[in-house]
Structure 1
Amino acid sequence: MGLDSMVEVTASEPSSIIETKGEHVNDGSPKDREPVYPKGFQLTIIAIALALALFLIALDMTIIATAIPKITDEFQGLDKVGWYSSAFFVTIGSFQSCWGKIYKHFPLKFSFLTAILIFEIGSAICGAAPNSNALIVGRAIAGLGAAGVSAGSYTIIAYSASPEKRPLLAGVLGISYGFANVLGPLIGGIFSDKVSWRWCFYINLPVGAVSIAIILFFFHDPPESKPEAVTLREKILQMDLLGVALLIAATVCFILATQYGQGQYSWGSAKVVGLIVGFVAILALWVANEWFMSERAMVVPRIFKRRTNMVMAGVATAIGGSFFPVVYYVPIYFQSIDGTTPIMSGVRNLPMVIAVTFGIFIAGGVISKTGRYQYVLLFSLGLATVGAGLLYTFDLHTSAGKWIGYQILSGVGWGLAYQIPLIVGQGSCAPTDMALITATLLFFQSYGAAILMSGVQAAFVNQMISKVMQLDPTISKNLLVLTGATDIYRVFHGDQLQVVLVGYMHGLRVVYATAIATIGVGFLIALGQPWKKLNQSAEVKAAIVA
């Protein structure tokens, strides 16, 4: 029986034993057969391919964190740093739901392989980029493909794993994802120091090819994923391309406003104010479009009638908006304030790598075993808030014991929380909404990262410049902005260098303060979650009835 004809799911096998409310008739057709899940070696090799693909996507999110100082040195300036990350996060966020619709209306395997190929093309452009603009374009293309890879990986695992194994395998994917997120700065540092920052992107090509080969030969589209029989016109309408365009336009307005406000124009200038007004106006149009498009919308309004989905979307936004700025700016702290090499800044980031990985593993195991996620979520968000608060206390002479301990504490918090929205969303939705819920939650996580990354970049530069000008007005503001994070030791000397370091520290604290506020809001949102055990059979029935 196909996913789109599922009506009731029994407790023993939520996705494989299907009953209609009337008399069950099995005529032997694909839609009337119980799902057959891959087992043994086939399931293992598919999981490895998906873990590899997600590893690359997550790696691409943070690998340039330690490479950015080298990139800014080569391309001469901090003014476009925000775009290096935001271009990726904007497209990965904006196209998540679009890819969710693609997986619903086109063959799953072909769509996933297409997504990896687009990601690989974007990575190749980034590696060969002759200037900042080319790098930004490559990042945007890579983000477009990454959106499909991330949504597709979790969708494939949902179809490939039986319901009782799904949280555990989602946890394995989450470990790969989280491990790459925080290992990225170390790998980026090694490439930047020993080879070239360009290999931060070239590395995706051979590893991605392995993932493509495995999926090509070992994964087969299950009957339950058979695309709905609708016209091509309807399939295109379902992707809500107008909604995607409006969201990208709104986000670009926001990023340009934050970029221009960093020094090129004042925050009160007509250009900056106009861009902010444009952002709000276009975002309002996007919301209206989503409401009008209904089931065709990139973010389907119907799913927010369930409180669980609304809360998890808010929590996912808070996690993405707080975690990624910290992952980017902790290595910048080590390289600028402590003067470490990219490799050593990555090594110093290892406590967070290990802590996040540990947290993801523990959360997946506990929820899979008990079905309880509420207390784990509140504890993790509270711990991450405290950890971010401790990171805020970093100064010019923070001891090793403190920067190790604080990273461990915050890393465990973010790690425990990282996968919970996806696990809960997939475990509490109707089978027909699996791809939709997955894409929607990933959208909110990515979009939260895109907006906050751009915002904290603007705040960092503004506060850094303001502090430096306050302490030493003779320092050139333009020179300060055009100097890369590690180049400050070459450009400035003596008292001026000390002033610049104080300015950098002042700007970094704003980043950590933003993380505190964002994850703290996530904690408050999580208080609104339903206090019921995550029982897949019961939740799925409720979702279908609703």
Structure 2
Amino acid sequence: MSFIDADPEKQGSNDNVASTGSSENVIPREASPRPIHGWKWAIAYASMISTTFLFALDNTIVADIHPVILDLFDEVSLLPWIGVGLALGTMCVLPWGKAYGVFNVKYVYLFNIALFEIGSAVCGAAPNMTALVVGCVIAGVGGSGMYSGTLSFVAMLTSLKERPVYMAGSTVIWGIGSVLGPVVGGAFADSSATWRWAFYINLPIGAVFAPSYLFLVPSVDPQSSKSWAEKCRRIDWIMMTMFLAGSASLVMAITSAARCVLLVVCIVLARYHPGMDKDNRLYPAHFFKRPILVNLQLQMFLVSGIVLAMTYYIPLFFQFIRGDGALDAGIRLLPFIISMVVFAMGNGALMPKLPYILPWHLFGSALVVAGTALLYTADLSTSNAKIYGYCILVGAGSGCYALAGFAVVQSLVPLKDISNAVGAMAISQDLGMVIFLAMAGSIYQNLTLQKVTQAMPALSAADITNLVAGTSSRTYQALSGEERDLVTPQITDAMKNVWWFFLVAGILSFVLTLGLGRTRLKGANAAEGELESCD
């Protein structure tokens, strides 16, 4: 399928199309590749990024409501799975990315919107912690499909020149959703509406945009000439099953290395899968032969993990060092998120004019290293202004390159591989979120258990787990002022190790940046996957 606009007035002449030398690859230059324009496109794009907003909101909205949920259900062992369950569901982003390259994009997109709303309803109505976790997983599966669908639509319906701007728009909306998540969650938790509306809120927002989803979002079928059976044969079902099982094993492997067997099998299948043509594999094996693609995926993995985990631990840090409630702690996150959004917008606006890969990643990762290193030094006596400054460094640094990779990889591969490239970056992003949340949670809970036990031996392990969930937890509220003064330094000291974990990840990102070389993207050549070396 060619994505050149069918409208002759918008399409222009055939000179607007440049061939890559293959009958399969048609590269749009200045012509608009979408069938709708003006107000219809504006509303359609707004509805697409509304799903990005909802997904981003869900990723951070639970950051401040853990204590309230724990007090209601009192199932300590499942508490970490609220955040991890949502992130684990997003592992479906790679299969969804493949599906968007095979089936009608609009139909897959609508299915995922429905799935996300169902998951949100299950979460809001959950009678116990198990149901809540299941709802989070369902919402994660649907949310990842919505997110991947928006990226696929932007890739298919925008020209190479305008794509970074639309990607930046998606970044801004993601940032707004991420900012509002902890604030909205904290507000609901502290109000008569209760925490359940932190999930129910997705339903009316989805209903408002439903007419646009149904009637304005264009229908795009990348393989319209193929039958349903032929399309199904192009999906790597074996690899998909092993990948999802391996992803779940990866999270559990953090506490038990023996459970990593399925992940190893998954990696081997990705490289040597004999049962599927290489062009139709869930993860295209030929990407392994492009070091720059692998590097960019690793960068995405690291920076995305840092960003999401920071949105959980910055509010928690302020709860203990300043005694903030859920709402106030969520507001404290604003400097971090706003700085990330501003720099991500700058990246999206300037990337077409300054198309060098290295400076963005080098400068951004250096700021992340500086910010996390300074956070490691923060304690109870550190002023709010300094902590905000440290958070701004991390936010600005991550904004420089957190989502830039999506636009970059699309310009490094042929048109037929764009959906695969988007899927590969999206799964790197989600893997980072899942693993960093799980590892940071493991570090935080294990160390706080040790340190608080030494300070207050009378507290049980269950009480300590409840305590470290936040200052609104039942156990923390039951402590006297002297007891709070005793445990708070232990908790914040344990949190230093979380900042140390982020620092190591930032250093690794900086080191990987040096492998990007002096590479630049230029014009249509970028869309053909050709790179130019800067002398």
**TM-score (structure 2 length as normaliser):** 0.89
Which residue of structure 1 aligns with residue 188 of structure 2? 191
528-537 or 458-467, which deviates more: 528-537
Which residue of structure 1 aligns with residue 498 of structure 2? 511
CA distance in structure 2 between the partners assigned to 1:455 and 1:20 by the alignment = 44
**Cα pair distance change 1:16/1:154, threshold 3 Å:** farther
* Residue among 371, 378, 382 paired with 1:387: 371
Pair 1:397 & 2:385 matched: no
* Residue among 254, 262, 281 paired with 1:282: 262
Which residue of structure 2 aligns with residue 266 of structure 1? none
Give the conservation status (yes or no) of the 8 Å contact 1:308–1:530.
no
Pair 1:134 & 2:131 matched: yes
Which residue of structure 1 aligns with residue 441 of structure 2? 457
Which residue of structure 1 aligns with residue 353 of structure 2? 369
Q: In structure 2, what residue type is equivalent to 1:70?
A: V
Which structure has more relative contact order (CA 8 Å, sep 6+)? It is 1
**Aligned with 1:163: secondary structure?**
coil
CA distance in structure 1 between the partners assigned to 2:111 and 2:368 by the alignment = 36
Give the conservation status (yes or no) of the 8 Å contact 1:49–1:210.
no
Which residue of structure 1 aligns with residue 243 of structure 2? 247
Q: In structure 2, what residue type is equivalent to 1:66?
A: D
Pair 1:98 & 2:95 matched: yes
Give the conservation status (yes or no) of the 8 Å contact 2:122–2:135.
yes
Which residue of structure 2 aligns with residue 490 of structure 1? 477
Alignment of 1:337-356 (within 5 A): 337-356=321-340
Which residue of structure 1 aligns with residue 512 of structure 2? 525
Which residue of structure 2 aligns with residue 267 of structure 1? none
CA distance in structure 1 between the partners assigned to 2:35 and 2:374 by the alignment = 45
Q: Deviations over 1:221-242 (max 9, x none)?
A: 24xx432544545533543333
**Aligned with 1:369: secondary structure?**
coil
Alignment of 1:103-118 (within 5 A): 103-118=100-115
**Aligned with 1:528: secondary structure?**
helix
**Cα pair distance change 1:96/1:22, threshold 3 Å:** closer
Give the conservation status (yes or no) of the 8 Å contact 2:303–2:402.
yes
Unaligned stretches of 5+ in structure 2? Answer: 5-11
CA distance in structure 1 between the partners assigned to 2:206 and 2:364 by the alignment = 32
**Cα pair distance change 1:21/1:106, threshold 3 Å:** closer
Pair 1:499 & 2:486 matched: yes
**Aligned with 1:197: secondary structure?**
coil
**Aligned with 1:2: secondary structure?**
coil
Instruction: Kindly state the Cα deviation for residue 58 of structure 1 after the two structures are TM-superposed.
Output: 0.9
Q: In structure 2, what residue type is equivalent to 1:2?
A: S
Give the conservation status (yes or no) of the 8 Å contact 1:391–1:512.
yes
**Cα pair distance change 1:473/1:385, threshold 3 Å:** same
CA distance in structure 1 between the partners assigned to 2:217 and 2:367 by the alignment = 39
Pair 1:151 & 2:135 matched: no
CA distance in structure 1 between the partners assigned to 2:13 and 2:398 by the alignment = 31
* Residue among 177, 184, 196 paired with 1:180: 177
**Cα pair distance change 1:121/1:15, threshold 3 Å:** farther
CA distance in structure 2 between the partners assigned to 1:453 and 1:22 by the alignment = 43
Q: In structure 1, what residue type is equivalent to 2:257?
A: I
Q: In structure 1, what residue type is equivalent to 2:147?
A: S
Q: Give the alignment's Cα RMSD to 1 decimal.
A: 2.7
Which residue of structure 1 aligns with residue 407 of structure 2? 423
* Residue among 392, 397, 410 paired with 1:413: 397
Instruction: Kindly state the Cα deviation for residue 359 of structure 1 after the two structures are TM-superposed.
Output: 1.0
Which residue of structure 2 aligns with residue 268 of structure 1? none
Instruction: Kindly state the Cα deviation for residue 20 of structure 1 after the two structures are TM-superposed.
Output: 6.6
Give the conservation status (yes or no) of the 8 Å contact 1:380–1:416.
yes
Instruction: Kindly state the Cα deviation for residue 108 of structure 1 after the two structures are TM-superposed.
Output: 1.2
CA distance in structure 1 between the partners assigned to 2:360 and 2:298 by the alignment = 16
Q: In structure 1, what residue type is equivalent to 2:161?
A: E
**Cα pair distance change 1:447/1:375, threshold 3 Å:** same
Unaligned stretches of 5+ in structure 1? Answer: 5-11, 27-32, 262-274
Give the conservation status (yes or no) of the 8 Å contact 1:171–1:360.
yes
Q: Deviations over 1:419-464 (max 9, x none)?
A: 1111111122211111111111010110111012111111111000
**Aligned with 1:337: secondary structure?**
helix
Give the conservation status (yes or no) of the 8 Å contact 1:66–1:331.
yes
Q: In structure 1, what residue type is equivalent to 2:519?
A: K
Give the conservation status (yes or no) of the 8 Å contact 2:3–2:156.
no
Give the conservation status (yes or no) of the 8 Å contact 1:430–1:541.
yes
**Cα pair distance change 1:306/1:401, threshold 3 Å:** same
Instruction: Kindly state the Cα deviation for residue 319 of structure 1 after the two structures are TM-superposed.
Output: 1.0
* Residue among 281, 289, 298 paired with 1:297: 281
Give the conservation status (yes or no) of the 8 Å contact 1:157–1:169.
yes
Aligned pairs, how many? 511
Give the conservation status (yes or no) of the 8 Å contact 1:13–1:163.
no
Pair 1:38 & 2:36 matched: yes
Which residue of structure 2 aligns with residue 19 of structure 1? 19
Instruction: Kindly state the Cα deviation for residue 533 of structure 1 after the two structures are TM-superposed.
Output: 1.9
285-294 or 457-466, which deviates more: 285-294
Give the conservation status (yes or no) of the 8 Å contact 2:301–2:429.
yes
**Cα pair distance change 1:490/1:240, threshold 3 Å:** same
Which residue of structure 2 aligns with residue 89 of structure 1? 87
CA distance in structure 2 between the partners assigned to 1:22 and 1:91 by the alignment = 37
Matched-pair identity in %: 27
* Residue among 456, 476, 499 paired with 2:460: 476
Instruction: Kindly state the Cα deviation for residue 75 of structure 1 after the two structures are TM-superposed.
Output: 2.1
Q: Deviations over 1:136-166 (max 9, x none)?
A: 1001101111111111101111222222111
Q: In structure 2, what residue type is equivalent to 1:249?
A: A
Which residue of structure 2 aligns with residue 211 of structure 1? 209
**Cα pair distance change 1:20/1:254, threshold 3 Å:** closer
**Cα pair distance change 1:496/1:36, threshold 3 Å:** closer
Instruction: Kindly state the Cα deviation for residue 18 of structure 1 after the two structures are TM-superposed.
Output: 3.0
**Cα pair distance change 1:336/1:530, threshold 3 Å:** same
CA distance in structure 1 between the partners assigned to 2:214 and 2:141 by the alignment = 21
435-444 or 328-337, which deviates more: 328-337
Instruction: Kindly state the Cα deviation for residue 128 of structure 1 after the two structures are TM-superposed.
Output: 0.8
Q: In structure 1, what residue type is equivalent to 2:357?
A: Y
**Aligned with 1:220: secondary structure?**
coil
**Aligned with 1:18: secondary structure?**
strand
Instruction: Kindly state the Cα deviation for residue 543 of structure 1 after the two structures are TM-superposed.
Output: 5.9
Which residue of structure 2 aligns with residue 226 of structure 1? 222
**Aligned with 1:527: secondary structure?**
helix
CA distance in structure 2 between the partners assigned to 1:253 and 1:170 by the alignment = 32
Q: In structure 2, what residue type is equivalent to 1:324?
A: L
Which residue of structure 2 aligns with residue 435 of structure 1? 419
Q: Deviations over 1:334-370 (max 9, x none)?
A: 2233221111111211111221111111111110222
